[in-house]
């Protein structure tokens, strides 16, 4: 029963986010600030992780394709794997940790210290100012960060490949990009906008409903990561199914 109530109120919360996001007044300055805080500050993590993932994927791809004498397909194979699935999902899960935990903790701390009440008392719509801005910022940031992850992943793949075969930079990326079509890149990248919505909405909901002081703040932060990660993975299954429906192989 409690789970049903939680799901119901969370769904109402999510619906309200969408409604308030499309209706003025818009908190543009705060949204841009959140885009910087959540998006730009995540770049080092995404770039470093993408590079590392690219190196590891390249090694695994080499090991698999070498059995069939198809090492020449490594750049294309890696690029496709990154762009279609590994990049979006890895970026989403990494950011559910960084952004989700951060939003959950920040809004949870604001809730238990009455800062949200203070905003309302100063006649500021706390839902628009705190929640909608973060959700919009994440919806914008995730596809951009995913693209960064894809690019740095390919760089990592290049680094791994060139260290073994000495393949030139231009050759590697020509082979990599030649394999990528619109149906590979755009839907997979745009689905991360849905990931951004999930991460920010779940974390904002848990943060703004925090109770029980610092213990509650910790729980809000942890649950933000866990719940958003689970929902993200489930949403990914549905979204991939949808992508294949519109872009069958």
Partner 1 sequence: MVDAPAAVEFQHVTKSFGARRVLDDVNFEIDAGRSICILGRSGTGKSVTLKHVVGLLTPDSGHVLVEGENISRLSSRDLSRVRQRIGFVFQNAALFDSIPVGANVEFPMRRHTKLSEGEIVARARQLLAQVGLEREYDTMPADLSGGMRKRAGLARALALEPAILLVDEPSAGLDPVTAAEIDALLVALRDRSQTTLLVVTHNIPSARAIGHELIFLDQGRIIAQGTPAALEASDNPLVRQFMSSEGGG
Interface residue list for partner 1 (CB under 8 A): 106, 109, 113-115, 117-125
Give the C-alpha distances (Å, rounded to integers) separating 26 from 52, 116, 127, 182.
38, 18, 12, 32
DSSP state of 25: P
What CA–CA distance (Å, rounded) separates 203 from 224? 5
Residue 175 CB, nearest approach to partner 1 (Å): 47
What CA–CA distance (Å, rounded) separates 138 from 67? 42
Q: Which is nearer to partner 1, 4 or 123 (CB)?
A: 123
What CA–CA distance (Å, rounded) separates 215 from 221? 10
Q: Which is nearer to partner 1, 82 or 130 (CB)?
A: 130
Q: Which is nearer to partner 1, 110 or 202 (CB)?
A: 110
Which spans in the chain are helix H?
Answer: 2-22, 28-34, 43-66, 74-81, 87-95, 101-112, 115-121, 126, 133-165, 169-178, 182-208, 213-246
Q: Which is nearer to partner 1, 27 or 161 (CB)?
A: 27
Residue 144 CB, nearest approach to partner 1 (Å): 24
Q: Which is nearer to partner 1, 110 or 194 (CB)?
A: 110
Residue 123 CB, nearest approach to partner 1 (Å): 4
Q: Which residues contact 110 (CB under 8 A, 6 or more apart)?
A: 116, 130, 207
Residue 117 CB, nearest approach to partner 1 (Å): 5
Report how far Cα 53 is from the mean position of its chain's Cα atoms: 16
Residue 113 CB, nearest approach to partner 1 (Å): 6
SS3 (DSSP) at 68: coil
Residue 116 CB, nearest approach to partner 1 (Å): 9
Q: Which is nearer to partner 1, 34 or 229 (CB)?
A: 34
């Amino acid at each position: 029963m409690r789970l049903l109530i939680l799901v119901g109120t969370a769904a109402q919360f999510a619906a309200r986010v969408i409604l308030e996001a499309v209706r003025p007044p818009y908190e543009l300055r705060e949204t841009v600030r959140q885009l910087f805080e959540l998006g730009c500050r995540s770049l080092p993590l995404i770039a470093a992780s993408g590079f590392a993932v690219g190196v590891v994927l390249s090694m695994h791809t080499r090991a698999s394709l070498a059995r069939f004498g198809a090492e020449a397909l490594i750049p294309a194979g890696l690029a496709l794997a990154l762009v279609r699935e590994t990049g979006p999902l890895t970026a989403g899960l990494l950011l559910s940790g960084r952004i989700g935990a951060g939003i959950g903790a920040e809004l949870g701390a604001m809730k238990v210290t009455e800062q949200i009440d203070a905003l309302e008392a100063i006649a500021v719509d706390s839902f628009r100012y705190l929640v909608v801005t973060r959700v919009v910022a994440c919806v914008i940031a995730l596809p951009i960060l995913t693209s960064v992850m894809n690019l740095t992943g390919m760089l990592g793949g290049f680094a791994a490949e060139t260290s073994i075969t000495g393949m030139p930079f231009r050759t590697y990326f020509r082979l990599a990009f030649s394999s990528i079509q619109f149906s590979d890149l755009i839907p997979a990248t745009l689905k991360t906008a849905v990931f951004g919505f999930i991460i920010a909405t779940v974390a904002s909901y848990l943060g703004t409903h925090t109770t029980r002081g610092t213990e509650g703040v910790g729980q809000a932060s942890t649950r933000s990561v866990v719940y958003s990660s689970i929902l993200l993975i489930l949403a990914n299954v549905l979204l991939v199914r949808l992508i294949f429906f519109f872009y069958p192989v």
